[in-house]
Structure 1
Amino acid sequence: MNYLIVFLGAGIGGAGRHGVNVLAARLFGTAFPAGTLVINVLGCLMIGIVAGIFAFRGHLPQEMRLFLTTGILGGFTTFSAFSLDAALLWERGEAGLAALYVGGSLVLSLVAVAAGLALTRTMLAGGVV
């Protein structure tokens, strides 16, 4: 049942992400990824609000947390989950781990994208794909 809850929420979040991207492209053009910036900031604000509600009103059902955070906000942006994880490490007094997590996520993610592009370019040039 939890997978269904997450699945439904992710669909809503993904549709919302698409809507924000379309609107931002119409309003600001496509030269700068304004839609992604808005999505990431809005998603972080929302996960902060949701996490705060669950922290201070802990009696809410786990299914609601899954639907809102992993589902809707996970479908909308995973940057919000990343930011919450980094903030929680910082709040627990683990500044070094928070910095390692943020730096490692940024560097490794950029390296992974570059590697994926290079691998695809190589495969397409060699006729593998």
Structure 2
Amino acid sequence: MASRPATLALVATGGFLGAMARYGVALLGPGLAGTFLANVTGCLALGYVFYTAAATERISPETRLFVATGFLSSYTTYSTFALQTTEASPAWGVLNVLGNYACGFVAVVLGRRLALGEWR
């Protein structure tokens, strides 16, 4: 495992890059669509990284810190999701909540299946 300063640098660098990627997604798809895309693709990536790291040695602890704790924590956005949901009409708000959670859970499962080679 990396030293404390190295760990902080990994998380900070990953966080910076994740925030920049999130901004890019917001430019491509502003509003609910961009947030949905970031959250679902982030869930897919997190499922893949977590289960790859847990089941194999293909992802080091340092890479997991950089990607999962740093990049993906900045890339996905619960606070924006919550704010946009409260600003949407009631019907869109309900659809946004259901869509983000349903698709997010499915994306994590797909990430796990990709990581573990569970395609049958």
Which TM-score applies when normalising by structure 2? 0.57
Residue in 2 aligned with 1:66? 65
User: For each residue in 1:42-94, what CA deviation from the matched residue of structure 2 results, as whole angstroms up to 9, or x when unmatched?
Assistant: 11011001111111114642111100100110110155xxx78xx8xxxxxxx
2:4 aligned with 1:5: no
User: For each residue in 1:72-123, what CA deviation from the matched residue of structure 2 results, as whole angstroms up to 9, or x when unmatched?
Assistant: 10110155xxx78xx8xxxxxxxxxxxxxxxxxxxxxxxxxxxxxxxxxxxx
Residue in 2 aligned with 1:49? 48
Of 5, 23, 28, which residue of structure 2 is paired with 1:23?
28
- State the structure with bigger RCO (CA 8 A, min sep 6), 1 or 2: 2
Shift of the 39–71 alpha-carbon distance from structure 1 to 2, 3 Å rule, reads same
Could you tell me which amino acid in structure 1 is paired with residue 71 of structure 2? Answer: I
Which secondary structure state, in structure 2, belongs to the residue aligned with residue 34 of structure 1? helix
Give the Cα–Cα distance (whole angstroms) in 2 for the partners of residues 39 and 3 of structure 1.
24
Pairwise mapping of residues 1-129 of structure 1 onto structure 2 (< 5 A)?
Answer: 1-25=6-30, 30=31, 33-58=32-57, 60-77=59-76, 79=78
Q: Unaligned stretches of 5+ in structure 1?
A: 88-129
The percentage of aligned residue pairs carrying the same residue is 36
Could you tell me which amino acid in structure 1 is paired with residue 22 of structure 2? Answer: R
CA contact (8 A) 2:26 2:35 kept: yes
Shift of the 22–59 alpha-carbon distance from structure 1 to 2, 3 Å rule, reads closer
Give the Cα–Cα distance (whole angstroms) in 2 for the partners of residues 15 and 59 of structure 1.
26
Give the Cα–Cα distance (whole angstroms) in 1 for the partners of residues 77 and 11 of structure 2.
13
Which TM-score applies when normalising by structure 1? 0.53
CA contact (8 A) 2:42 2:75 kept: yes
Structure with bigger gyration radius: 1
How many pairs were matched up? 76
